[in-house]
C-alpha cells in the first residue's frame, strides 16, 4: 500500500516503494517548488497520467548516465563536427517542455500535463530547471530539460524533430556537466535508446546515497551558459 500525501506530509522512505509497479511510493500532495526539490533530493520524481492524482516514484534499479560514459557513435560524431546544429541553453525552456509534451507516434498521450509544465516553468524561473536546445536555421528542432541541484542533474524528457537533434543536446550536456564536476545524470527508467547512449542501471540504495552526497551544500541556482567546446 502506498502513502497518501498532504501538503505538509513528508515522503516515506524510498525502501517502502512498491515492487509492482516498480518504484511507486506515494500519491497526492502538490507540485510546489519546495515539494519537488525535496523529492529530487530523496531520489523521488513525479509521474502520472492526466486526470490521475500526482504519483511519486523511486524505482529500483535506477537508470543513470555518468557524463564521462556518454557514448558518441560515429554518425553522431560526424553530426557534431558538421556544425549543422547550434546548441543553446535556457533560451526557450517552455517551448522545449511543450515540445516534449507533444503526442508521439508510439504513445497515445503525454504525462507532461499543464500542471507539470507550470511547475517546471516555475523551477526554471528560479534557476533550478534548465533546457538544452538544438537549433537549425533559427528553428528549434530538438532538446531536453531537467533539474539541477548541486552536482546532480535529473533528466526529465527530450524531443527531436530532426536527425540526431536530441542526441546533440545530450552530448553537449554530458560534456559540460563533466567540465563542471557533475557526477551523475538521472535517467529514471531504462530504455534501449538511453542504454545505447551509455546509460546503465544501478541499485536504488547506491543512487540515493550518491544523490545525498551530490546535492549537499549551498544551492547555486542560476541560468546556464555552456562553454562552446565539444
Domain span holding position 32: 3-59
Same domain, 32 and 76: no
Is it the case that residue 105 has pLDDT exceeding 80?
Answer: no
CATH value at residue 123: 3.40.630.70
| Mean pLDDT score across all residues of the chain | 94
CATH of the domain at 53: 3.30.70.3550
- Could you tell me the pLDDT band of residue 68, with boundaries at 50, 70 and 90? very high
> Which has more confidence, 106 or 189?
189
Segment holding 121, helix H or strand E: helix 114-125
pLDDT at 103 (0 to 100): 80
Beta bridge partners of 152: 149, 184
Beta partners for 86?
135
Q: Is residue 89 part of a domain?
A: yes
Between strands 152-160 and 184-188, the pairing is: parallel
Q: Is the pLDDT at 193 greater than 80, yes or no? A: yes
pLDDT at 104 over 60: yes
Q: What is the CA radius of gyration of the chain?
A: 17
* Residue 205 forms part of a structural domain: yes
* pLDDT value of position 152: 97
CA distances from 8 to 5, 28, 45 (A): 8, 11, 17
Same domain assignment for residues 55 and 120: no
Last residue of a domain, one of 34, 59, 84: 59
Same domain, 53 and 101: no
Considering only residues 218 and 139, tell me which one the structure prediction assigns the higher pLDDT.
139
Residues 42 and 147 in one domain: no
Verify that 77 and 163 share a domain, yes or no: yes
Structural domain includes residue 225: no
Q: Does residue 45 lie in a domain region?
A: yes
How many folded domains does the chain comprise? 2
89: closest CA among 229, 228, 226?
A: 226
Q: What is the model's pTM?
A: 0.95
Terminal CA-to-CA distance of the chain, rounded, Å?
Answer: 47
Confidence at residue 158, expressed as pLDDT on a 0 to 100 scale = 97
pLDDT classification of 208: cutoffs 50, 70, 90? very high
Asked if residue 220 belongs to a domain, the reply is: no
The C-alpha angle with vertex 150 and arms to 145 and 152, in degrees rounded to 5, equals 50
Q: Considering 40, 59, 78, which residue would you say is the last residue of a domain?
A: 59
- Nearest CA to 193 out of 144, 123, 126 is that of 144
Whole-number Cα distances in Å, 53 to 1, 28, 114, 144, 195: 15, 6, 14, 25, 30
Residue 195's region, left for phi above 0, alpha for psi from -120 to 50, else beta, is alpha
Whether residue 219 lies inside any domain: the answer is no
| 37 and 67 belong to one structural domain | no
pLDDT in tens, 161-189: 999 999 999 999 999 999 999 999 999 99
176 and 191 belong to one structural domain: yes
Residue 199 has a pLDDT of 98
Q: What is the mean pLDDT of residues 9-21?
A: 97
- Give the per-residue pLDDT at 132: 98
Q: 228 burial class (0-12, 13-18, 19+ CB within 10 angstroms)? A: exposed
pLDDT of residue 111: 82
Whether residues 19 and 102 share a domain: the answer is no
- Asked whether residue 106 carries a pLDDT value surpassing 60, the answer given is no
Clarify whether residues 19 and 81 are in a common domain.
Answer: no
Q: Torsion over CA of 126, 188, 116 and 215, rounded to 10 degrees?
A: -20
167 plus 155 within the same structural domain: yes
Q: Is residue 229 part of a domain?
A: no
pLDDT at 78 over 70: yes
Whether residue 97 is found in the same domain as residue 200: yes
What's the pLDDT score for residue 142?
Answer: 98
Q: Residue 71: what pLDDT?
A: 97
Q: Residue 44 has what pLDDT?
A: 98
d(CA 46, CA 60): 15
Residues 108 and 68 in one domain: yes
Give the pLDDT mean for 75-93.
96
Report the range of poorest mean pLDDT among 4-8, 36-40, 58-62: 4-8
227 domain-assigned: no
Amino acid at each position: 500500500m502506498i502513502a497518501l500525501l498532504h501538503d505538509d506530509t513528508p515522503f516515506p522512505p524510498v525502501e517502502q516503494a512498491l515492487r509492482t509497479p516498480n518504484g511507486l511510493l506515494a500519491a497526492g500532495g502538490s507540485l510546489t517548488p519546495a515539494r519537488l526539490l525535496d523529492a529530487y533530493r530523496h531520489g523521488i520524481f513525479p509521474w502520472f497520467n492526466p486526470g490521475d492524482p500526482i504519483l511519486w516514484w523511486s524505482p529500483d534499479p535506477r537508470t543513470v548516465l555518468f557524463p564521462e560514459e556518454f557514448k558518441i557513435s560515429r554518425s553522431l560524431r560526424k553530426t557534431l563536427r558538421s556544425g549543422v546544429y547550434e546548441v543553446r541553453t535556457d533560451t526557450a525552456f517552455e517551448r522545449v517542455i511543450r515540445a516534449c509534451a507533444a503526442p508521439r507516434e508510439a504513445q497515445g498521450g503525454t504525462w507532461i500535463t499543464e500542471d507539470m509544465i507550470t511547475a517546471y516553468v516555475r523551477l526554471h524561473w528560479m534557476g533550478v530547471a534548465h533546457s538544452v536546445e538544438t537549433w537549425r536555421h533559427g528553428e528549434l528542432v530538438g532538446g531536453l530539460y531537467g533539474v539541477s541541484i548541486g552536482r546532480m542533474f535529473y533528466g526529465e524528457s527530450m524531443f527531436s524533430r530532426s536527425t540526431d537533434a536530441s542526441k546533440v543536446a545530450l552530448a553537449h550536456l554530458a560534456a559540460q556537466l563533466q567540465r563542471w564536476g557533475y557526477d551523475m545524470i538521472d535517467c529514471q527508467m531504462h530504455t534501449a535508446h538511453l542504454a545505447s547512449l551509455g546509460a546503465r542501471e544501478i541499485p536504488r540504495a547506491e543512487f540515493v546515497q550518491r544523490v545525498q552526497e551530490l546535492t549537499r551544500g549551498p544551492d547555486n541556482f542560476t541560468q546556464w551558459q555552456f562553454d562552446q567546446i565539444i
